[in-house]
Structure 1
Amino acid sequence: MAQPVADRLNTPALLSSRADQSLLLDIAASDKQLVAVGDQGIVMRSIDQGRSWQQQQTPFSVMLTSVYFADAEHGWLTGHDGLIAATDDGGVGWRTLLDGHQINQLRLQKLQQKMAEIQVLSDAEPDNDLLAEQLDNIAWQAADAEAAVEEGAGVPLLDIWFADAQHGFALGGYGLLLKTGDGGDSWEYWGDRLDNPDNFHLNAMMADHRGYLYIVGEAGLLFRSEDGGDRWSRIDTPYEGSFFGITEFNQQLYLMGLRGHLYRSSGGLEWSPVETGYQVTLLSAVAKADKLVLLGQGGMILQSPDGQTFSQLPSGGRHSLSAGLALNGEYILVGEGGLQTLEVAHE
């Protein structure tokens, strides 16, 4: 007889002496501590600027994909199976806020409500082709949401961002976007506010120096909100492949994605290509006051003093690098090989 598959949403992560060498996908700094997250529910924490790390106990063992702190105590993480979890003690203890089962229900209820509203308008204007098209689209999305409810909690969340300890967003696969206004205690489905009828994956989110919010994703997707995330506009980009990251350096925005594609914009609307000389997929960036560092597959690390000319830094291996941060003259990086520290060369 086949053994039942473990519910990783409710199975605690195993503690391991080699957890710092496991696949880690994101890292965040919060006051005096650093927190990194990754495979099988692993949460690593350092209180000595990254010189030593301790694995924290967590009540879940799904793949963890992102982590974000609004202040020294309050942080959130996302993972596969729709996991959102929170900490209020700087990353020591974590509690589950939401999972994929609940997300599927939120999405279905929101889409059914919207479909009913559009149906009323369409009944009043039966010859309105635009309303008919909107109704067809929302009906398709509602049917897809019904199927997701039946299939279970499989939706992956890929990024999380908070403006403060109360207001934040989580996003991920199949066009999923969620919003909270109470620190994550309750969430609303927000994906219907994006012009994303094909439900392409949403990969990353950030805010620029003006407070404008950006979301990047599959198929060259780029969305921007100028009002804190209530309304979103879709921005045309010169690339139809996936974007995995967006960052700001010297008040210039940078989009990065498959096969080394990198684009720059001064305002976020018009984008021009930046040639790095490499065609390795770029996954994320670390922006300091005087340097922009791009991280990618195969251990790729590209550094630039001006955001225009790049040179490759030695990574010490071929493991892909997912995220990083700059701290005390070093880059602390995470990826396939776990945690890695790289000294910043002084020029």
Structure 2
Amino acid sequence: MSLYYKLTGALLISCLLLTSCTSNQNEAISAFQDEEVEEGQTITIENPEVLMEQTSANKEEGKQYQIQTRLTDFHLLTESAGIAWGSTRSELRLYLTQNSGKTWTSISPAASVQFPYHPKYNRDIFFVDASHGWIVRNSVGSSDAIVLRTRDGGATWKIASLPGSDKVVAIYFTDVSHGWILASKVHPEKEEKTLYQTEDGGVTWSKIMTSPSDADAEQDHVLPNSGGEISMIFQDRMTGYVSMISSGIPKLYTTNNGGISWSEVEDFFSTSKYKSCKQFIAGEMQFFSNEPLNGWIPVGCVKEGSTKFNGYYTADNGATWSLAPFSSFWQTGLNEALSPTFVSSEEGWLLHNSKVYHTLDQGQSWNELPKSKVLVEILADYPEIVKLRFSSNQVGWLLVAQSNQKRSLLLQTLDGGITWRVL
């Protein structure tokens, strides 16, 4: 291992300009799998300009350097491209791969932008492709929330403020220009939601809807001011959906004028089909890129310390939704709230007790895939399943963690979940 040098002595620097910690040239981060992971994913950076800024290590031509990053989330952009990130000392560490994890590039924003929490995709981070992305940093102290944006794959980041917002709960873009941010502001004894819109890629944001605490959501055609587990999607510049748990019940709202006014989707959910459930949880709403009119929302029934998910599906761009009961498992323990993941209206995967299950009939039946020794061994050390997603019927990523020890590993499958490797 003469070509590798452990990074030591991290130094924080002050960035006067909101440029990324990368140079204009791509810095490759090679996948490295054989090192023991002490506090996160071990990755190798080749000739990184970022090291000159973040550490006291001297950069030597042709050398490679190892760093450890605790990853907390990821997003697959295509079969071969994706982003993954985590926070270290309140600094966001964001990485991009465009070759299935063979090499990575650091696209982190400036260290001066602090993140005292772990950003999540569709809530704090959104990318439409490998070049165009946005990161929301919630308000800190008396400051407003801010939105960072890049148009060059993270080489540079620019900033915009989001006045009057405390906490962002959802972000979505339909293209490089048009996007929405849903924020929640909590006052003493009241709460209000505000929807912001941009038409210039995030340079400027304007309020297009506010639901104050005394608003009648149905009468005033706004989103309810209270509600959690929020997911937001826009199909185009006019049509959008917001799902949430409101008063303990899964609800779905739709807009046909770009978010200015909203109405509840009638007959979306009925408690009569879940008479024994004590509580409900909702997962992330999704429309399928290969089936643009088809989408689904996972809804979990909670009772007696266990949870079982079913799916609500649409095949007409959200005009109607129908329940698809899953013949899957009741889940308990650390991964109780882990829902199945789907790549189309019919094909999906589920992880249960270190086993991967596969469906081709919208969850009516699940077939156990051949046992993966690598996956079983890793899940024994990293029992928390943070996220499982597929970009095709062959390519998927899995993030697992040992939260008590602040450790994580990101894995990849290239054969539909049968075999796995550490990225």
The structure with the largest strand share of the pair is 2
Shift of 1:213: 2.2
Residue deviations 1:3-43, cap 9 Å, x none? xxxxxxx9999788112xx2422314279742223434221
2:136 aligned partner: 78
Which residue is equivalent to 2:276? none
Paired amino acid for 2:82: L
Aligned pair 1:231/2:261, yes or no? Answer: yes
The equivalent position to 2:328 in structure 1, one of 265, 273, 277, is 277
Q: Deviations over 1:244-266 (max 9, x none)?
A: 31123555432114433323233
Which residue matches 1:61? 114
Partner AA of 2:119 in structure 1: L
1:284-295 residue pairs with structure 2 within 5 A? 285-288=341-344, 291-293=347-349
Structure 2 letter corresponding to 1:332 = W
Say whether residues 1:161 and 2:212 are aligned partners: no
Output the TM-score relative to the length of structure 1.
0.66
Higher relative contact order (CA 8 A, sep 6+): 1
Identity of aligned residues (%): 17
Is the Cα–Cα contact under 8 Å of residues 245 and 257 in structure 1 kept in the other structure?
no
Structure 1: gaps of 5 or more residues: 1-9, 105-152
Which structure has the bigger radius of gyration? Answer: 2
Cα offset for 1:192? 2.3
- The residue type equivalent to 1:184 in the other structure is G
Encode CA deviations 1:194-243: one digit per residue, 9 max, x unaligned: 64434223532234599842222223131122344333222242367332
Distance 2:339 2:205 in 1: 28
Asked whether the equivalents of residues 33 and 90 of structure 1 are also in contact (C-alpha less than 8 Å), the reply is no
Aligned to 1:97: 160
Considering fraction of residues, name the structure with more helix: 1
When residues 261 and 44 of structure 1 are mapped into structure 2, their CA distance, relative to the original with a 3 A threshold, is: same
Give the direction of change, closer, same or farther, for the CA distance of 1:58–1:346 in structure 2 (3 Å limit).
closer
8 Å CA contact 1:322–1:334 kept in 2: the answer is yes
Written as runs of structure 1 = structure 2, the 5 A alignment for 1:167-178 is: 167-171=178-182, 173=184, 175-178=193-196
Comparing 38-47 with 210-219, greater Cα deviation is found at 210-219
Of stretches 31-40 and 58-67 in structure 1, the one that deviates more from structure 2 is: 31-40
Equivalent positions of 1:296-335 (< 5 A) are 303-309=358-364, 310-311=366-367, 316=376, 317=379, 318-322=383-387, 324-326=389-391, 329-334=394-399
Q: Residue 226 of structure 2: which of 190, 199, 221 is its match?
A: 199
Q: Cα distance 1:168–1:35, how it changes in 2: closer, same or farther (>3 A)? A: same
In structure 2, runs of 5+ residues without a counterpart are 1-16, 22-53, 56-65, 140-144, 186-192, 212-220, 272-278, 301-306, 331-335, 402-407, 419-423
| Aligned partner letter, 2:201 | G
**Contact 1:295–1:321 under 8 Å retained in 2:** no
Query: CA 1:290 to 1:197, structure 2 compared with 1: closer, same or farther past 3 Å?
Result: closer
For 1:346 and 1:299, the matched residues in 2 are separated by: 12
Quick check: 1:173–1:201 contact (8 Å CA) kept in 2?
no
Question: Which residue in 2 is equivalent to 1:261?
Answer: 309
Deviation string 1:83-111 (CA, Å, 9 cap, x unpaired) is 42211112343333335xx243xxxxxxx
Alpha-carbon distance between aligned partners in 2 of 1:23 and 1:204, rounded to the nearest angstrom? 22
Whole-Å separation in 2 of the counterparts to 1:98 and 1:284: 36
CA distance in 1, matches of 2:399, 2:357: 15
In the aligned structure 2, how far is the partner of 1:182 from the partner of 1:299? 45
| Count of aligned residue pairs for this structure pair | 284
> TM-score, structure 2 length as denominator?
0.55
Q: CA RMSD in A?
A: 4.0
Q: How does 1:327-346 map to 2 (within 5 A)?
A: 329-334=394-399, 336=401, 337-345=408-416
- Counterpart code for 1:222: L
1:71: how far off? 4.2
Question: 8 Å contact 1:205–1:214 — kept in the other structure?
Answer: yes
1:217 matched to 2:244? The reply is: yes
Deviation of residue 323 (structure 1)?
A: 5.3
